[in-house]
Structure 1
Amino acid sequence: MDWVMKALVTGSTGFIGSHLVETLLERGHEVTTLDRTANDSPGITRAFRADILDAEKVREATGGQDVVYHLAALLGTAELVAQAHHAVDVNINGTVNVLDACRSEDAALLFVSKPNPWLNTYSITKQAAEQFCLMYRSEFQVPVTIVKPFNVYGPRESVGPGRAQKLIPNTIAKALSDQPLTIFGSGDQINDYIFVDDVVRLIADLSMSDKSINGTYDLGTGNGQTVNEVCRLILELTDSGSVIERLPMRPGESSSAALRADLTQIERVMPVGDFVGLRDGMARTVEYYRSKSN
C-alpha cells in the first residue's frame, strides 16, 4: 500500500459495510464509522453512533477524512412502497448531509448506488441521491465516485421480520429448515450475483485509483442467472426437502428483469481480477447460515 487512507464508512454495521470495514482495516487504513447502532469492530479509529440525518454529527465524523464511503440507507423494494416519506428523508436528505460534509471538510465521496432504475421507492430515492452526487461534483467540485453493485450475496446478510426480503439469504434460511421456498413470478428473471468479498475488494481498489475519481461503475460479474437457477442451486447445496411455491410479483419489481453488469467502465481504470464463482460463493454462504442455525 502506498499510503494510509483515513476513511469514514457510513452504514458500517450493515451487510456490505461490515465487510468493507474489515477489508479497509486489513489493508492498513484508518477507519472511522458512523451508524445508528454501535460498531465495536476491533481496529476502528473512532465509532460515531449517529444517524445520517444528524448533519452536525455527519460533519464531525467527516472531519479529517480522505474518503467517505456512503452506504447507509433505508433498504427494501416492496417493503418501502408505503414508506416513501421516510425513504426520502434517509436516502435523499441523508445523502445531501453527507455531500455537504464532504464539501465543507474537503473529503472525497464514494457513493453506493444501485443499477436498475425500477419504479419503486428505493430505486427512486437512490437515483435522486445519485443525481445530487453528480450536482455536487459539477457545482462544488466534490470528488465523487459512484458504484452500482448488482445482487450482492454472502455471509452476514440479515434475514427475518423487519428486514428487506432478499432472495438468497431468505431462500437459504428456508431451505435449511425445509420450509417452502417462495419464487415471485416465473422465476425466469435474470440478475448478476456477485459475492460480497468481490464487491468490497472492487470498492477498496477503486478508491485507491486516481483514474476512478468522478466515474460511475457497475459492480458485478458480467454474467447472469435466473431466480430458478439460484433456487435449484440452494436446494442442492442445502440438501433440502423444501418445495417451491410460486406467487405473483411483489410491488415495485419487474417480472422481465434481465440484469447484468457492464464492466466496460471499470476495466478502463483497473483490472477487475477473478470473481468468486456462484457455486463456491453460495456454498460459503450456505455454511455461514447453517452454522447460525445450529
Structure 2
Amino acid sequence: MQLKNKKVLVTGACGFIGSHLVERLVKEDAQVKAFIYYNSFNSWGWLDTFPKEKLEKIEIFTGDIRDPNGVRDAVNGADVVFHLAALIGIPFSYHSPDTYIDTNIKGTLNILQACRHSNVKKILVTSTSEVYGTAKYIPIDEQHPRQGQSPYSATKIGADHIAESFYRSFDLPVVIVRPFNTYGPRQSARAVIPTIITQLLSGQKEIKLGALHPTRDLVFVKDTVEGFIEIARSDKTLGEEINIATQSEISIQHLAQKLIDLIDPEAKIITDNKRLRPEKSEVERLLGCNAKIKKLTNWRPKYTLDDGLRITIEWFKNKKNLRLYKPDIYNV
C-alpha cells in the first residue's frame, strides 16, 4: 500500500513516537489527521513544537480514546489508522491500574469497533516488548509466551488479543506492531535515557537510577517509525504480530556509563531505592528477534546505538528542550 494521498489517522499523535510518525507521514504526502488528547490548555503536545508550515499540513482532532463517540468521528473517512494512544508508564500502572484498562484495553476496543464500521484498509495497533516479560529464550520472537509482569504489560496483552480477535472474527485488516525500547528526541522523562541525560546536563554528579542489571534492546525512534511505515506499505503483514527490534542488547549500567562518558565522565551512578520495581515485576532481559519484519518488509535499522545517543544528547542540549524536563524529580 502506498501512503501518498491516503487519509491517515494517528492516535497518540501528540506523544513521543506519535509525533515522529506524524512528521514521517507528512513527508510521505499522506493526508494526516492527528488525534490529540483533549485538554483545557488546548495543548497539542509535541506537535506544538512543529513549524507553522508543517502544522498546516496536519488536521488536528481533539478527543479522548476512551470515548467511543469521538473515536468513531475521528476514524470516519480514514484509509489507514495508526493506533498509538496509550498509557505507558510502568510505575504509574502500579498506582492506577484502572486507568490503564480504560485507556489501553477499552481505547483499543473503541478503535477496532470504529474501524469495523468504516472502510478502513489497514489498522496498525501498537503493542510493546513488555508483553513478553523477562526473556525465556533469546532472541525473543513473536511466538514467545506473554507474561503480564506489570498492570501496564497486562493491559497491552489484553489489547493485542482483542485486536487479534477482530482480525479472526470479523476479518478486520489489523496488524500488531511491537516496538522494543524506543528512544530519541522528545521521549518523556519516565524513560531511562532521558532520565540519565537530563540529570547529567543539569550538572548532577550522582545519577539516580533503579535496577542496573536488566538489559534492553534499544531502537532509535526514526528506525521505529520507519518500521511502522514499512509494515503499513507491505501487503504481507495483515493479521501478523511484528517486532521492531535491533536484535542487540545493553544493560542499564553499561548504557548509563556510556552516556556519562559522553557528557560528564566525573558523574557516578547511585541506586535510588524508590526507582526499583517489585522483584517479580522487573523485566530482566529484552532482546528482540527482527527476522519477521525483515522477511515481510524492506525495513532494516539504520542507526547504531552510538549514533542515536549522540543525536538524542544534542537535542536535549538545546535549552528550549531541556527546560521542559524536571531532572531532580522522579517521574513515574
Common topology (TM > 0.5): yes
Alignment correspondent of 2:330? none
Give unmatched runs, 5+ long, in structure 1.
160-164
- Of 210, 230, 235, the residue aligned with 1:184 is 210
The one-letter amino acid paired with 1:94 is G
The one-letter amino acid paired with 2:35 is L
In structure 2, how many angstroms separate the alpha carbons of the residues matched to 1:137 and 1:255? 32
Mapped pair 1:10 → 2:11: yes
For residue 211 of structure 1, give the secondary structure of its aligned residue in structure 2.
coil
User: What CA deviation, in whole Å up to 9, does each residue of 1:122-181 have, x standing for no partner?
Assistant: 10111101110011111111111111111111001122xxxxx21001110001123221
- TM-score normalised by length of structure 2: 0.82
In structure 2, how many angstroms separate the alpha carbons of the residues matched to 1:115 and 1:139? 25
Mapped pair 1:276 → 2:267: no
The one-letter amino acid paired with 1:207 is A
Mapped pair 1:111 → 2:125: yes
Query: Which runs of at least 4 in structure 1 moved beyond 6 Å after TM superposition?
Result: none
**Deviation of the 1:257 alpha carbon:** 1.5
User: What CA deviation, in whole Å up to 9, does each residue of 1:49-108 have, x standing for no partner?
Assistant: 100112111111111111110110112111210201111111111111011011011212
Mapped pair 1:125 → 2:155: yes
Alignment correspondent of 1:158? 188
Alignment correspondent of 1:202? 227
Give unmatched runs, 5+ long, in structure 2.
38-42, 134-148, 324-332
- TM-score normalised by length of structure 1: 0.92
Q: Please say which of residues 250-259 and 148-157 is displaced more in the overlay.
A: 250-259
In structure 1, how many angstroms separate the alpha carbons of the residues matched to 2:93 and 2:266? 32
- Alpha-carbon contact 1:52-1:94 (below 8 Å) kept: yes
- Of 89, 92, 105, the residue aligned with 1:92 is 105
In structure 2, how many angstroms separate the alpha carbons of the residues matched to 1:100 and 1:136? 9
Matches within 5 A, 1:253-264: 255=282, 257-264=284-291
Alignment correspondent of 1:265? 292
**Deviation of the 1:3 alpha carbon:** 4.5
Alignment correspondent of 1:140? 170
Q: Please say which of residues 115-124 and 138-147 is displaced more in the overlay.
A: 115-124
For residue 24 of structure 1, give the secondary structure of its aligned residue in structure 2.
helix
Root mean square deviation of aligned Cα: 1.8
Give the aligned length.
288
- Of 115, 119, 123, the residue aligned with 1:102 is 115
In structure 2, how many angstroms separate the alpha carbons of the residues matched to 1:114 and 1:170? 20
- Alpha-carbon contact 1:178-1:241 (below 8 Å) kept: no
- Alpha-carbon contact 2:215-2:286 (below 8 Å) kept: yes
In structure 1, how many angstroms separate the alpha carbons of the residues matched to 2:186 and 2:4? 30
Alignment correspondent of 1:82? 95
**Deviation of the 1:253 alpha carbon:** 6.9
Alignment correspondent of 1:172? 197
